[in-house]
Amino acid sequence: MTPPGMGGASDIPERSEASPAVSSCLTVLSKRADFLLAARARRQSAPAFTLQARRREEAPGGGIRIGFTCSKKVGNAVARNRAKRRLREIARAELPQHGRPGWDYVLIGRPDATATRPFEALRADLRRALDRLHADAP
């Protein structure tokens, strides 16, 4: 038996094949100013969330940036975190194909609906909201 840390074959961590929490082409918004700018721009409602989007002038060729928020109306911390996890997952799955580079998106969770809506319906809602937002955008 080899002591831990002595280079035994069992000490090599296995590489996880799971997808990352947020795709590599997505950057997460963290500054309040970015959320406020998105709040003044376009918005599209969906049954389980509201999508806000704005085109960035400072970096039009940049990647896609995404933010997530849930107010206390969604519920306690457990409910808000569950809703945000679901929003992060649909963003990771749909934005690389349907989002536009140089845009900021903010997903706002809704009470009860975000946590309880079927996952495929959430994904379809995001695709539909993105199509509507970009339909009249140049």
Structural domains in the chain, sorted by start: 23-132 (3.30.230.10)
Give the integer Cα–Cα distance in Å for 5 and 14. 15
pTM of the model: 0.78
Work out the average pLDDT over 66-93: 93
pLDDT at 88: 94
Angle in degrees, CA 30, 18, 126, rounded to 5:
55
pLDDT at 2: 63
Give the integer Cα–Cα distance in Å for 11 and 43. 50
pLDDT at 3: 61
Q: Taking the mean position of all CA atoms in its chain, how far away is CA 11?
A: 34
pLDDT at 8: 56
Is the model's pLDDT at 13 over the cut of 60? no
Nearest to 90 by CA among 133, 122, 135: 122
Work out the average pLDDT over 102-109: 93
Is the model's pLDDT at 70 over the cut of 90? yes
Work out the average pLDDT over 49-60: 85
